[in-house]
Amino acid sequence: MSETQIIIAGAAGEGSKKAGLLIAKLFNAYGFRVFIHEDYESVIKGGHNFSQISVSKKESDAIKEKIDFLLALNKEAISKHKEKLKKGGVLMYDSDVIKNNFSEEEKVEIAGIPLGKIVEKAEGIPIMKNTGLVAAFSRAVGMEWKKVREVLEKELPIATEKNLKVAEIAFRSFRRIKEIKETGEEPAPLLSGNQAAALGAINAGLENYFAYPMTPSTGILQFLSQIEGVRTFQPENEIATVNMALGSAYAGKRTMVGTSGGGFALMTEGVSFSAQSEIPLVISLSQRAGPATGVPTYQGQGDLLFALNAGHGDMTRFVVAPGDVNETYYFSGKALNMAWKYQLPAIVLLDKELSENTYSFDKSFRKEKEEAIQGEMNGGYNRYDREDISPLAFPGGGAVVKATGYEHDKKGVATEDAEAVKKMQEKRMRKYEKLKEEVEDMESVNVQGEGPMAVVFWGSTKGVALRAVKDLDVRLVQPIILQPFPEKKMKKALSGVKKIIVAETNATGQLSRVLKEYGIKVSERILKYDGRPFSVEELRKRIKANI
């Protein structure tokens, strides 16, 4: 088994998501690289949920249209996904709830498993059917019971013995269809983008995290609430969240908040306050399909221009849009550092696919913490002294530390004097110019290939783009830092290119509009805006049609 695509599907409440993670963990134990795409409706029970697991000996972070295995917990799962099965693929289903009326012309292997009877024999409960289906699948692909048991024991801490009994009965009652061998690679940590964002921020010194739950960013709050040493708090709404974060950072604590588009809209006055008061603010903004509530559990990259322009007045910010968990880990820490070094708002722009999907994480953890310039704690401390980056000091250290949303002088006293207003605005712009210089020296643009045509993308489109251009004479260009925009690096990356194609999951071509602002002419746009990500086959077909 070199590359395999698996879908496990059922209704919300039947445990398809947990089952998908178990399958990924099992393949990970054999040294494979895995990727889980999560698709679920915004209902608590019912509806249709599925996880698509991509398994490969090499890096795997994109889904394909055709699958090798379909594991069905209910009848709807079969009707929705059966056509995706390759010729010779395997359909495994719960024969206790699904009648076997399949045509002999299906051209796939069909295997019914009496999951209800297996659970009853093990004296389990109905939700444990997912455990039985996973165990039967593990037997079908040739896994060893000892390794399967080890993974399940670790990943099923509740009712472990009953789950293991269900799993063993299902495993022993099924047959081997495929053959699996260990790859020789060590298992890699499996992380969602939300978890990677949390870990990256921790390694840059994160101390406090505030959030009002909003899909798809909620996973950060859930994850950090279990981490010792990081204080987490859920305020009553997003306005309270951003104001608490500003107060926390003013008191000297490295702080981050998380939200999605609707919550970020409520935070924008706080973003402006951060810029004016020069209080560090970090926001993890995870996009979903809009406008308004839109399609709350599905994919969209429609908040790029919003993030780049959020906040009123002439203000600046640091905006990064990582494309996988490795970049999310690194640039979440970088955003926290830049917010504190330059005393401004920083936005980590994720999207639903990156936030909630699970990836193999192959980078070693690195400490990424830069210390802010500290002010002298004495009675003569001026909060907004210097011509660009001011020294920071915090209340309680012997100095009066002022912070204000009004324009002010170097002491922090509100002013409307024309010369003072002009001087302070220029101070903030000089600070931004220093940040722009630093960005040009960062790993702000990824380039792969040297073809005469370029495909430019951002965010979670990275994984599928890398695979869609295989064997095509195409250059891939991915801007990661989007404000300050790395103009020199971007133009160098596109040097000699005859045609530029931009691929993104929004309806208006937002990255194309950003490129146009810097004099970069886009030839073609590949846009997808149905709430779903690109598949490898779909993006490849659309790229080929444009070259």
Output the CA–CA distances (angstroms, integers) from residue 64 to 108, 197, 427, in the order listed: 18, 26, 51
| Helix-strand-coil split of the chain, %, nearest 5 | 35, 20, 40
Where in the chain are the domains?
3-172, 190-360, 373-442, 445-546
225: Cβ contacts below 8 Å, ≥ 6 apart? 232
The average pLDDT across 2-27 equals 95
- Whose CA is closest to 119, among 61, 163, 68, 184? 163
Supply the pLDDT for residue 1: 65
Q: What average pLDDT does the structure give for the chain?
A: 94
Question: pLDDT by residue (tens digit) across 220-239?
Answer: 999 999 999 999 999 999 99
343 close to 282: Cβ distance less than 8 angstroms: no
Per-residue model confidence (pLDDT) at position 381: 87
Task: Please tell me the distance from the alpha carbon of residue 66 to that of residue 79, in angstroms, as a whole number.
Answer: 15
Q: How far apart are CA 209 and CA 222, in angstroms?
A: 11
pLDDT for 416 beyond 60: yes
DSSP code of residue 356: H
Q: Which of 204, 197, 210 is nearest to 237 (CA)?
A: 210
For residues 365 and 380, what is the distance between their CA atoms, to the nearest angstrom? 41
CA distances from 375 to 175, 205, 255, 369, 395 (A): 70, 19, 20, 18, 12
**Three-class secondary structure of residue 330 per DSSP:** helix
* Sign of torsion over alpha carbons 378, 384, 387, 391: positive
What pLDDT, in 10s, does the model give residues 159-193? 899 999 999 999 999 999 888 889 999 999 999 99
Q: Does the pLDDT at position 112 exceed 60?
A: yes
Q: Tens digit of pLDDT for each residue in 117-156?
A: 999 999 999 999 999 999 999 999 999 999 999 999 999 9
Residue of higher predicted confidence among 99 and 467: 467
CA distances from 249 to 9, 83, 88, 179, 408 (A): 44, 53, 58, 55, 20
Pick the CATH number of 3-172 from 3.30.1050.10, 3.40.920.10, 3.30.70.580, 3.40.50.620: 3.40.920.10
- pLDDT (tens digit, 9 = 90+) per residue, 336-376? 999 999 999 999 999 999 999 999 998 655 555 666 666 55
CA distance 505 to 495: 25
Q: What is the pLDDT of residues 251-293, one digit of tens each?
A: 999 999 999 999 999 999 999 999 999 999 999 999 999 999 9
Q: Per the structure block, which two tokens stand in for 255?
A: 């702080």
Read off the pLDDT band of 98 (50, 70, 90). Answer: confident
Kindly tell me the sign of the dihedral angle through the C-alpha atoms of 370, 376, 379, 381: negative
DSSP assignment of 274-326 equals HHHHT--EEEEEEE-B-STT-BTTS-----HHHHHH-SSSS---EEE---SHH
What's the mean pLDDT in 81-91? 94
Antiparallel, parallel or unpaired: β 208-211 and 255-259 = parallel
Tokens of 435: 């940040």
Q: What local confidence, expressed as pLDDT, does residue 378 receive? A: 54
Closest CA to 304 of 355, 335, 261: 261
The pLDDT score that the predictor gives to residue 258 is 98
Measured between its terminal Cα atoms, the distance across the chain in Å is: 33
How many Å apart are CA 332 and CA 203, to the nearest integer?
Answer: 9
Q: Which residue has the higher pLDDT, 363 or 417?
A: 417
Place 59 in a pLDDT band, splitting at 50, 70 and 90. confident
SS3 117: helix
CB of 236 within 8 A of CB of 212? Answer: yes
Is 90 exceeded by the pLDDT of residue 499? Answer: yes
**Residue 368: predicted pLDDT:** 59
Q: Do domains 190-360 and 445-546 have the same CATH topology?
A: yes
Contact between residue 69 and residue 93 where contact means Cβ atoms under 8 Å apart: no
Q: Are 389 and 343 in contact (CB under 8 A)?
A: yes
On the CB side of 505, how many CA atoms lie within 13 Å of its CA?
A: 28
DSSP state of 533: P
Distance CA 311, CA 270 (A): 8
Question: What does the pLDDT read at residue 406?
Answer: 97
- CATH superfamily, domain 190-360, is Thiamin diphosphate (ThDP)-binding fold, Pyr/PP domains (3.40.50.970)
The two most distant CA atoms of the chain are separated, in Å, by 87
Place of tokens 């040297």: 450
pTM: 0.94
Stretch 199-226: mean pLDDT: 97
Q: What CATH number was assigned to the domain covering residues 445-546?
A: 3.40.50.920
Q: Label each residue of 50-114 as H, E or C.
A: EEEEEEECCCCCCCCCCEEEEEECCHHHHHHHHHHEEEEEEEEEECCCCCCCCCCCCCCEEEEEC
- The percent of residues above 90 in pLDDT, for the chain, comes to 87
